[in-house]
C-alpha cells in the first residue's frame, strides 16, 4: 500500500503506525523518515502532544497540515519543533477507523511542496478499503497464532524505565528479548523500543489532558503471539511493562477484528471461561438452539472450524 500511495499521490517520507483498536495507542510501526529516525523518541513524543490532525481527534479520514491550519503549520508542535528543521513543508494524515476501533494512522511527508485537495481525496477514497484490509489481517493473525509458539515461552514480563524525554534509563533482559522479537535489529545493535515509546508518550499526553485514552497497547509478534505494553509513573520516570496478552485481551481483539456483535462477543468470553452449551444457555438466558446459532455465526466470522479451534485462538496455545 505504501508503494501504491507513492505512485498515486507521491511523498518523500512516511510513518505508518498500527494502533490498538481499543486504546488507539500506537503498537507496530512501519516508517521511512530519513535523518529524523535519529530523534525517534522526540518525534513520537511530539506526535502525541499536539492536537493538530491528531488521529484520535480527526472527524474525517484524511487531513492536510497546511489545509487544517490555514497555511500556518507552526500551529502543530510536531512541525514547529521538529519537522520544519528537516525541510518538511506539508503532511497528509490518514486515519484508518471503523465502528470496531481505530486500526492505524498514516502520515505522509512532503518537502518543498504541498498536498492539494485532489490528492487528499485520493487518499480518502482508499481509507475504508485499507481499514477493512488491516482488520482482516488482524483477524487472520489469530489463525496463525494457533499453530505458532506462544509469547509465554519467554519468561517475562519485561520492564523498561524511561526518562520524561523517553530516553531508556534501564531495562530487563526479558524486555530486550521481547523487543528483538518484535523488530529484530541489525547485528548487535540494541532493539528500538518503539512500542514502549508510544505507550509512554500516551501517558504524558493523558497527564496533560491532550487525550484520555489509557497508555496501553497490544501488539502482535511475527510468530503469531500477542503482547501487552503498559506505561505508568515511577516518580519522574516512566515504567513500561511488556508481557503476554491475556485471554481477555485476545477475546477483545478477536471480537473487534472479526466484527462480532455485542451478544456474540459476550458468548465468546463465556466460551473462553469454560462451560458446555447448556451452561452457556443458562448463563445468558437463551435457549440452547440460540446459543448454537450464535456459535455458528462466530465460527463463520472468525474462521474457526470448531469450539476447540476457537479456544486455541483465544488462549493462544
- For every residue of 163-206, DSSP letters joined together read -TT--EEEE-HHHHHHHHHHSPPSTTPPPP-HHHHHHHHHHHHH
Angle of CA points 308, 258, 231, to nearest 5°: 95
Domain 260-315: which CATH number of 3.40.50.1360, 1.10.10.10, 1.10.760.10, 2.60.120.10: 1.10.10.10
**pLDDT (mean) for 9-24:** 96
Is the pLDDT reported for residue 149 higher than 70?
no
What is the reported pLDDT for 317? 61
DSSP 8-state code for residue 114: -
Model-wide pTM > 0.85: yes
Check residue 86 and report its DSSP letter: G
pLDDT tens digits, one per residue of 31-61? 999 889 889 999 999 999 999 999 999 999 9
Helices (H), the chain: 2-8, 40-49, 65-68, 77-81, 117-145, 173-182, 194-207, 247-258, 262-273, 277-284, 288-302, 307-315
Q: How far apart are alpha carbons 202 and 47 in whole angstroms? A: 10
Query: Which residues neighbour 194 within 8 Å (Cβ) at sequence distance 6 or greater?
Result: 26, 29, 40, 44, 183
**CA 280 to each of CA 24, 212, 253, 277: distance values in angstroms, whole numbers, following the listed order:** 32, 35, 21, 5
Q: CATH 3.30.450.80 occupies which residues in the chain? A: 2-145
CATH class of 2-145: alpha beta
Q: pLDDT tens-digit profile of 150-178?
A: 444 555 689 999 998 899 999 998 888 88
Count, residues in the chain:
317
Q: What is the mean pLDDT of residues 87-110?
A: 98
Diameter of the chain measured on Cα atoms: 66
Eight-state DSSP code of residue 245:
P
Q: Read off the pLDDT of each residue in 275-287 and give the average, rounded to a whole number.
A: 92
Q: What is the mean pLDDT of residues 175-204?
A: 82
Q: What are the beta bridge partners of residue 26?
A: 19
- CATH architecture under which domain 152-244 falls: 2-Layer Sandwich (3.30)
Q: Where in the chain is the domain with CATH 1.10.10.10?
A: 260-315
| Mean pLDDT of all residues belonging to the chain | 91
Residue 283 has pLDDT above 70, yes or no: yes
Select from 268, 275, 270, 277 the least CA-distant residue to 310: 268
Amino acid at each position: 500500500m505504501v508503494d501504491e500511495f507513492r505512485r498515486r499521490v507521491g511523498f518523500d517520507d512516511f510513518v505508518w503506525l498500527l494502533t490498538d483498536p481499543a486504546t488507539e495507542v500506537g503498537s507496530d510501526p512501519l516508517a521511512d523518515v530519513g535523518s529524523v529516525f535519529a530523534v525517534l523518541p522526540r518525534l513520537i513524543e511530539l506526535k502525541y502532544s499536539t492536537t493538530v490532525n491528531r488521529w484520535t481527534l480527526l472527524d474525517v479520514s484524511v487531513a492536510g497540515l497546511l489545509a487544517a491550519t490555514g497555511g500556518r503549520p507552526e500551529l502543530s508542535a510536531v512541525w514547529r519543533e521538529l519537522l520544519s528543521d528537516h525541510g518538511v513543508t506539508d503532511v497528509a494524515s490518514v486515519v484508518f477507523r471503523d465502528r470496531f476501533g481505530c486500526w492505524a494512522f498514516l502520515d505522509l511527508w512532503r518537502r518543498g511542496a504541498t498536498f492539494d485537495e485532489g490528492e487528499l481525496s485520493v487518499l480518502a477514497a482508499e481509507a475504508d478499503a485499507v481499514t477493512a484490509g488491516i482488520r482482516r489481517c488482524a483477524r487472520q493473525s489469530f489463525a496463525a497464532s494457533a499453530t505458532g509458539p506462544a509469547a509465554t515461552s519467554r519468561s517475562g514480563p519485561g520492564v523498561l524505565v524511561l526518562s520524561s524525554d523517553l530516553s531508556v534509563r534501564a531495562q530487563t533482559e526479558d524486555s530486550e528479548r521481547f523487543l528483538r522479537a518484535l523488530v529484530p535489529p541489525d547485528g548487535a545493535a540494541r532493539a528500538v523500543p518503539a512500542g514502549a515509546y508510544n505507550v509512554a508518550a500516551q501517558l504524558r499526553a493523558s497527564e496533560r489532558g491532550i487525550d484520555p485514552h489509557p497508555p496501553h497497547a497490544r501488539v502482535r509478534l511475527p510468530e503469531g503471539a500477542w503482547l501487552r505494553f503498559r506505561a505508568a509513573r515511577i516518580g519522574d520516570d516512566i515504567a513500561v511493562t511488556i508481557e503476554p496478552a491475556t485471554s481477555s485481551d485476545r477475546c477483545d481483539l478477536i471480537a473487534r477484528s472479526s466484527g462480532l456483535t455485542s451478544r456474540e462477543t459476550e458468548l465468546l468470553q463465556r466460551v473462553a471461561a469454560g462451560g458446555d452449551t447448556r451452561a452457556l444457555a443458562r448463563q445468558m438466558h437463551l435457549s440452547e438452539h440460540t446459543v448454537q446459532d450464535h456459535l455458528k455465526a462466530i465460527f463463520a466470522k472468525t474462521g474457526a472450524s470448531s469450539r476447540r479451534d476457537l479456544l486455541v485462538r483465544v488462549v493462544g496455545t
